[in-house]
Every structure is written in C-alpha cells, then in structure tokens.
Copies of this chain bind each other. A is one copy, B any other.
Amino acid sequence: MVKEDKAGVTYAKGFKAAGVKAGIKKSGNPDFALIVSDTDAAVAGTFTQNKVAAAPVYVSKKVVKSGSAKAIVANSGCANACTGQQGMDDAEKTAALAAAQLGITADDVIVASTGVIGVTLPMDKIATGIKTAAAALDENGSKDAANAIITTDTYIKSLTTDIIIDGKEVHIGAIAKGAGMIQPNMATMLCFITTDANIDQVRLQLALSAIIEKSFNMISVDGDMSTNDMVVVLANGQAGNRKIVKDDEDFKIFYNALAELCCKMAQKVAADGEGATKFLTINIHNAKNFADAKKVGMSIANSPLVKTAFFGQDPNWGRVLCAAGYSGADMVPEKTVVKFGNITVYADGTGAAFDKKALQKVMAEHDIVIDIDLNIGSTDATVWSCDLSYEYVKINGEYHT
C-alpha cells in the first residue's frame, strides 16, 4: 500500500540522503540534494524526449546505460539547459566532484538539474553543495532532499510502499518535484526512486519503462515538456530476496508496487500544478485503442478552455466534448457519454437533463472526476491534470531573468 511518508528515498535499506542550501536559488532556500546507496545498485531511468535536452540528461543517460549507480546529485534553481559545451563540462564535473567526495567513480553518479533554462551552473556553489551535503548524509535525510529539489511546488512529494518477495520485506520509496513545464512523454519531471529489492537491471528498466507510460506520461499541467525531465530508480538488493531476473510472480509483485507508487506520485505532481485549484481525473472508457484514449484525455487535459472552465467551476461540458473532437482520436459524438462526478451531462448527441444544484456541488469540489465513454472499443485510460488559474499566469508571467 502506497502511503505519504517523509522517509521517501531513505525508506529502503542502505540508502542515505541529504538536502542543503548551496546558494544557487536567489531565495536562499535549499537547492542541493544528494542520495547515496551504501552498495552498488542496479539503475533504470527514463528521460525527456525533448530535442533540447539539458546537459545532466545526457550525462545521466550514460550512467543508466552502464547499468549501475551509487549516487544521485540534484540541484534546483538552475536547469543547466541550453548551456552548450560549458553545460556538458559542468554536468560532468558535478559527477566527478561528487564521486571524489564519496570515494566512488563518476560513472556511478546520476546528475539532475531543474530551474531556469539558459543559465550555467555556479560551479563554486555546486562544489560547496557537494561537500555540505556529503557531510549531512543521513538515514533520515529524505525529507531534506525532497525539499531541496522543489521549485514552485507548494509541498514536498514523498511516498513509500513495501511488499513481500521471497519471504523478504522489500521497501520502495520516492521523492519528486513537479509544478510547471509538465507534459508527459517518457518522463515528466524529477523523480528519484530507491528500493532495496534485488532485481536485475534489465528487468528494472523494463518495469520502469512500462510503468512510466501509464503514470508520469499520463499527466499534464500545461502541455510543456521540460528539457530536464527524468525518473530514476536505484535498486541495491539489500532486501536479500532471490534476484528477480525474469517475468515471474516475484517480478509481478515488484512491478505492481512500483506501478502503484509511480501512479500516486504522478497524481501528486498533477494536483500540485502551478496555480492549480482543482485536481482533474479524466477517465476515458471504451476507446478503440490506448493511443486514442490517451489522445482524448490529453486533449481535454491541455485545453485552456476546459482548464479555465474548471477554474471557474463552470460545468461547460461543450468544451470537454470539443477538445475530444479535435484530439485526432476516433470518436463518434452520438455514441459518446460525458459525466462530471457521477452526473451525466452529455449523451445521445446532446446535453443531458441534469440536476443543476448537484452538478454545482461536483464543480465546487477540489477533486473532480470526468468520465468520457467513447463506446466504440474496449480500451480504458486515465489522465490526471489540473485547472488553469490566474495564479498560473502570475507565476509564469513574472520576470525571471
């Protein structure tokens, strides 16, 4: 069972973490995080598909390719994106500095950055951050690490879960940052997951890649896919279960737990979108296939007209249907049924007769479920999103440079 738990990435055996102030953020808030496994860990990762990927994405992809890692360093306040060769050098230097400090090799260090694009890393502050964070590494350090990676998030995102595999207790924990520039495709933001499960790297990557498609890739705050997105899992095997190496019952137990954790985390990121006042769960039913179901869900999730309507608590189902109609997915208006909460608002090609007061009550909730039954196939999917408020415009219309 996945639960909110500040233990986060230090919930699993053999992991320490720290979050410190390195002086990168102008606000003076914590901005540097370190997560370390006592022993070698299998590593899996998914990264942004943006052609304008940040330097740390390139560096970390190489580490994932190598198959194992022992540490994650992450800074907020500076994305190290669009920074050219200097950016690549800085990301590599960050890994090297952390490796030297921890007595490991640079190719065992995942590097992640989030913040403003186009600014180079302040390497003196990064160096200080690494030293301070290494000194602060603690088995209860996850909360500080979670706090150090957030930007415009309004709360830290930290989850844990546990399962029994081969009679052994296996722990999984995660921290994430989200908020703005959130639109899926592969990975969506920064999320670090640690587990003491004993699992083969290939299977770990298989699990993560499959799970991402129905969790982090199914959320959208604003349709913008970041240059820095990554989801990384470290699995150090300290739970002592027999190694998971194939698609057996052990793998299924691990997979389901990781999937549940990723779904919950994705939902938390969507719910805490910049300026969000509503958390929208958009269920697509009976689509022809998954791609179509996702298209309809994402089209609704990204429609500024739908998002502003929900912000205004306006049960404007016409905009929802309109967004479904231009999604590119197969749909037949006359067969489609739309519900807000448990109230049918559209069916048989036209607006349904509904209890206005009951519908107003649904629209006034913070969590709203939208059901779109396409009735032309048998595939379901769920997309999570939020509304578009004055606050989003304020946060992103502020002068940053």
B319 and A117 form a contact (CB under 8 A): yes
Quick check: which of A83-91, A159-167, A209-217 contacts chain B, the rest being far away?
A: A83-91
Report A233 CB to chain B, min CB distance, Å. 24
Q: How far is the CA of A13 from the CA of B7 in the complex (A)?
A: 78
A304 to B49, CA, bound (A): 19
Find residues 345-390 in chain A having any chain B CB closer than 8 Å to their own CB. Answer: 346, 348-351, 388-390
Q: Which A residues, 327 to 361, have Cβ-Cβ distances below 8 Å to chain B?
A: 331-334, 346, 348-351
Q: Return chain B residues, CB-CB under 8 Å to A117.
A: 316, 318-319, 321-322
The verdict on A303 contacting chain B, using a C-beta distance below 8 Å, is yes
Task: Across the interface, name the chain B residue whose C-beta is closest to A332.
Answer: B51
Cβ of B180 and Cβ of A226 under 8 Å apart? no
Interface check A154, CB cutoff 8 A: no
For the complex, what is the distance from the CA of A91 to the CA of B117, rounded to whole Å? 51
User: Is the CB of A136 closer than 8 A to any CB of chain B?
Assistant: no
The verdict on A224 contacting chain B, using a C-beta distance below 8 Å, is yes
- Tell yes or no: A123 within 8 A of B by CB: no
Give the CA-CA distance A313 to B326 in the complex, in Å.
31
Task: Given the known inter-chain contacts A83-B350, A318-B81, please indicate yes or no for A325 contacting B398, CB distance below 8 A.
Answer: no
Check A308/B84 contact, CB under 8 A, given A117-B322, A331-B51.
no
Per-residue B-contact encoding for A162-195, CB less than 8 Å = 1, 0 else? 0000000000000000001101010000000000
Q: Is residue A317 contacting chain B, with contact meaning CB distance below 8 A?
A: yes
B residues in contact with A349, CB < 8 Å: 82-85
Neighbour of A322 across the interface among B181, B311, B399, CB < 8 A: B181
Chain A interface category by residue count? 35 or more
Judge if A236 is at the interface, Cβ distance under 8 Å: no
1/0 per residue, CB under 8 A from B, across A288-312: the answer is 0000000000000011110011011
A393 at the interface (CB under 8 A from B): yes
CB of A39 within 8 A of chain B?
Answer: no
Measured in the bound complex, the distance between the Cα atoms of B316 and A84 in whole Å is 17
| Dominant secondary structure at the A interface | loop
A26 adjacent to chain B (CB < 8 Å): no
Please measure, in the bound complex, the distance between the C-alpha atom of A52 and the C-alpha atom of B374, giving whole angstroms.
12
- Collect the chain B residues with CB atoms within 8 Å of residue A334's CB: 84
- Beta-carbon contact of B82 and A223 below 8 Å: no
Cα separation A351 to B116 with both chains bound (whole Å): 12
Bound-state CA distance A271–B5 (Å) is 49
- Across the interface, do A396 and B322 meet the contact criterion of CB distance under 8 Å? no
Per-residue contact bits, chain A 110-131, to B (CB 8 Å; 1 contact, 0 not): 0000001111000000000000
A28 within 8 A of partner (CB) = no
Cβ A305 vs Cβ B224 within 8 A: yes
Partner of A399, one of B81, B118, B313, B321: B313
Given the contacts A349-B84, A350-B83, A401-B315, A392 and B224 also touching, CB distance less than 8 Å: no
Q: Nearest Cβ in chain B — how far from A66, in angstroms?
A: 25
With beta carbons under 8 angstroms apart, the residue of B84, B319, B350 that contacts A224 is B319
Q: Which residues of B have CB within 8 Å of A85?
A: 349
Known contacts A118-B318, A313-B399, A314-B397; 14 further A-B pairs (Cβ under 8 A):
A51-B324, A52-B326, A79-B318, A84-B334, A117-B321, A223-B302, A224-B322, A225-B325, A308-B396, A309-B400, A312-B396, A314-B400, A388-B393, A389-B397
